[in-house]
Amino acid sequence: MRSGRPLWISSLVAGVAAATAGAAEPIRYGRDVLPILSAKCFACHGPDEEGRQADLRLDLEETAKADRDAGPAILSGRPDESLLLERITSPDPDLVMPPGDSHKPLTAEQVSLLRRWIAEGAAWGRHWSFEPVVRPELPAAPRGAAIRSPIDAFVAARLAEHGLSLQPPADPHTLLRRLSLDLIGLPPSPEAAAAFAADPSAAAYEQQVDALLEAPQFGEHWARMWLDLARYADTKGYEKDLGRTMWPYRDWVVEAINADLPLDRFTEEQLAGDLLPDAARQQLVATAFHRNTMSNDEGGTDDEEFRVAAVKDRIDTTVQVWMGLTMGCAKCHTHKYDPISHHDYYAFYALFNQTEDADRSDDAPRLDLVSAEQQAEWDRLRSAYESAAAAVKAGEQESQPESETPAAGDQLAAVREREATAKKRLQEFESGLVRLPVMRELPADKRRVTRIHNRGNFLDPGAEVEPAVLAAFGGLPDGASPNRLGVARWLTSPDNPLTPRVWANRIWARLFGTGIVETEEDFGALGSPPSHPELLDWLAADYRDGGWSLKRLIKTIVISDTYRQRSDVTPALVAADPRNLLLSRGSRFRLPAETIRDQALAVSGLLSVKMGGPPVMPPQPAGLWRSTYNTKTWVDATGEDRFRRGLYTYLKRTTPYPSFTTFDAGSGEICQIRRIRTNTPLQALVVLNDPVYLEAAGALAGRMATDAAGRPLTDPAAIAARGLALALIRPLRADEADPLVRLERDARSRFAADPDAADALIAAASAAVPAGVPSAELAARVVVASAILNLDEFLTRN
């Protein structure tokens, strides 16, 4: 079979991953039947009228069971009289469904499942994720298992079905490193790890969790997660890709996360801060969220075309980020699988189609983020310019050319010069101001009329539509207006079935490497089913009913035994749970791009903890920025700005910082729901050769030459072991550093024979040269430090 959807999904669904009907258990429509109908039938017999064949609609119970000339497609309880079954089992290649040229044949299991479902009465239902979120009952604890948290109850129950149980917790060093990397994106200090190892009690662990949640670096780390979704970047995109001041919004996100702004307010302020009564400045800053859309400054573009593209991007991003649904299809036609019609799309579009921004080159409307002093200075410069301009005008009117005397001419020239100077000063001042693009609603007399775009083409308008939220997911909450603010309230209303599931799943995925629903970007009919449906609903309900607190949700998860399990992979575990979908062990995954860099800077002692402000340009290879009609250049930062967290690295959309994209970071061009992890040779080259990692090795080479008390070490073996312990933050196994010791010895003898090479490496690594240390020895330490930073364990969160 060739549908592009791999076979393994079906075996996975039926087997290990999701709970599916066993032989005895009744078939459930949402879980068992709908996925088959969606994937195999709805393209021609689903919601989309234009693509519908034989006037048969199978997505609605009424039409699927309606009597037709040849009999009903589905006759409850009578599989043999149901036309559907007749057609899917037909031996005639001209009659069999799905037709051969669709390349979507049904498997024998799928056919027998449909038969059983009809025989059992063909009970209807909805797709699982569209059902209301109800907090499920906790399963009983498996015999002999002590259950710490509700999460563990669900996970242990599933494990018990497979004869498995939770693994013991990871050792304290590993656990604290895991927790710290997950919560703040940085490793713990060796001292903190040692202290925790001395008292790894539940109370001590909880204290660590609380402390990390309160650390300012928590907001920096989780802001990165959000900025991928918000398609944050420091440039405008497309051809010229000119710079754009967006960093105040990035800082808002960091602060909002640190302040644990509840999701409903986090949503409201970003989608519609400008529509809140008496909106505070920070609430206006938040609306820059939807000004992260690209704008095209290319010559000869139709601004309306790119304004429309930006509005559509806002629709797609909003629905995908909060509800995990793909709207893209409905731009051109009614969605074939999910209940979103062509009309629904443009009704939703109408809610976002009333803002002032219009792909203008100055990014208007903007919010001027000026201090009182700046405002005073600005007013002064502006009035100086205005009065000079008025003087010029007056002078020009007085001195008509025919009557102009030389003296009057000189005077006019002087006034003009004064005007030019004032103008230049004003412009210079304004160019130094922080002016953030924000959302602003059009005044009542300038509202746009929204029409359907036929086949997605804005030049081919169809019927007028009234603004409305997506009909299949309930109307606006009571009292909410049909505008962006109403959308925000609808997204986070207690009745929205998707928002809490999508968000709980997203946070889970960041902490476990994979979501309970693996396709974080798709909770629709064709998305992958949840591995632990009840657990997901419990988390979703707890998050929503507990006040939408991100910190509370994270704490709930990381405090569980499930999270704390050891992550070693044994053959038995692999046989029972190859992809760890049952959570039969702790998870292991390669760290995200920014964390890899931040961690290397942290353990080498170089990391700057400076927060916020304009983006910085750490060294990158020369000659990368070559956008057309754009003269801005990358200038390698000096001093502290070389070593800021990755969050602050300037992100140019058409040429993102290369070592981050090598580790799967995005470009900020569109909403990136998750980064698909890869393992490539280019990643090896980055950590081996990128100057930032070399400088980190240089600094680590210095740091590892003293012990924990700051006393200098001289024994090469002790130095190598100290470096390893500083990076991995755990006690070493016996002889573990031996390969490094041998490497150091070989490197030292090479450098002794080639002192120029030693000096070259020391200089390139900016390594501090301590008195009395021969350069061959120092260079060898740099090599050892570089090897440490390249260790798989260092790059992995385990």
Residues in 235-294 at the binding interface with other proteins, rule: CB under 8 A = 237-239, 241, 294
Positions 694 through 753 that interact with other proteins (CB under 8 A): 694, 733, 736, 739-740, 742-743, 746-747, 750-751
Task: For other proteins, give the closer residue by CB, 53 or 689.
Answer: 689
719 Cα distance to chain centroid: 39
Task: For other proteins, give the closer residue by CB, 344 or 518.
Answer: 518
Smallest separation, CB 437 to other proteins (Å): 19
Written as one string, the DSSP assignment of 660-712 is HHHTT---SSS----PPP---HHHHHHHHH-HHHHHHHHHHHHHTTB-TTS-B
Smallest separation, CB 589 to other proteins (Å): 8
Positions 580 through 599 that interact with other proteins (CB under 8 A): 580, 588-590
Tokens of 664: 């799967």
Positions 12 through 31 that interact with other proteins (CB under 8 A): 12
Beta bridge partners of 797: 589
Positions 748 through 777 that interact with other proteins (CB under 8 A): 750-751, 756-765
Task: For other proteins, give the closer residue by CB, 91 or 571.
Answer: 571
- From the number of C-beta atoms within 10 Å of its C-beta (0-12, 13-18, 19+), residue 40 rates as buried
Smallest separation, CB 714 to other proteins (Å): 21
Positions 211 through 240 that interact with other proteins (CB under 8 A): 237-239
Task: For other proteins, give the closer residue by CB, 415 or 767.
Answer: 767
Task: For other proteins, give the closer residue by CB, 411 or 655.
Answer: 655
Task: For other proteins, give the closer residue by CB, 17 or 488.
Answer: 17
CA angle 505, 506, 512 (to 5 degrees): 80
Positions 645 through 704 that interact with other proteins (CB under 8 A): 653-656, 658-659, 661-662, 664, 667, 669-670, 676-686, 688-691, 694
Positions 505 through 534 that interact with other proteins (CB under 8 A): 514, 518-519, 521-522, 524-527
Smallest separation, CB 525 to other proteins (Å): 7
Task: For other proteins, give the closer residue by CB, 426 or 502.
Answer: 502
Count interface residues toward other proteins (CB under 8 A).
Answer: 121
Is the peptide bond preceding residue 98 cis, with omega within 30 degrees of 0?
yes
CA atoms of 469 and 232, how far apart (whole Å) = 25
Of 9, 83, 434, 468, the residue at the interface with other proteins (CB under 8 A) is: 9
Could you identify the residue written with the tokens 């990358």? 634
Smallest separation, CB 481 to other proteins (Å): 30
Task: For other proteins, give the closer residue by CB, 123 or 624.
Answer: 624
Tokens of 403: 């009557």
Stretch that binds other proteins, among 54-62, 120-128, 147-155, 567-575 (CB under 8 A): 567-575
CA atoms of 391 and 342, how far apart (whole Å) = 58
Stretch that binds other proteins, among 300-308, 487-495, 531-539, 545-553 (CB under 8 A): 300-308
Using alpha carbons, select from 708, 721, 723 the residue that is nearest to residue 604.
723
Positions 614 through 633 that interact with other proteins (CB under 8 A): 621-623, 626-631, 633
Task: For other proteins, give the closer residue by CB, 240 or 435.
Answer: 240
Residue 521 amino acid letter: E
8 binds other proteins (CB under 8 A): yes
- Strands 451-453 and 796-797, by their bridges, are unpaired
User: Residues 6 or more apart from 288 whose CB is under 8 A from it?
Assistant: 246, 248, 249, 252, 367, 436, 437, 438, 439
318 binds other proteins (CB under 8 A): no
Task: For other proteins, give the closer residue by CB, 217 or 320.
Answer: 320
CA atoms of 73 and 70, how far apart (whole Å) = 9
Using alpha carbons, select from 126, 161, 133, 142 the residue that is nearest to residue 31.
126
Positions 90 through 129 that interact with other proteins (CB under 8 A): 103
Give the sign of the dihedral formed by CA 708, CA 713, CA 718, CA 723. Answer: positive
778 binds other proteins (CB under 8 A): no
Of 26, 579, 636, 714, the residue at the interface with other proteins (CB under 8 A) is: 579
CA atoms of 113 and 97, how far apart (whole Å) = 16
Of 96, 160, 718, 791, the residue at the interface with other proteins (CB under 8 A) is: 791
Helix (H) or strand (E) holding 435: strand 435-437
Using alpha carbons, select from 629, 78, 523 the residue that is nearest to residue 301.
629
Positions 332 through 351 that interact with other proteins (CB under 8 A): 332, 337-338
Q: How many CB atoms lie within 10 A of CB 555?
A: 17
Smallest separation, CB 723 to other proteins (Å): 12
> What are the backbone dihedrals phi and psi of residue 534, each rounded to the nearest 5 degrees, phi first?
-70, -40
Smallest separation, CB 460 to other proteins (Å): 11
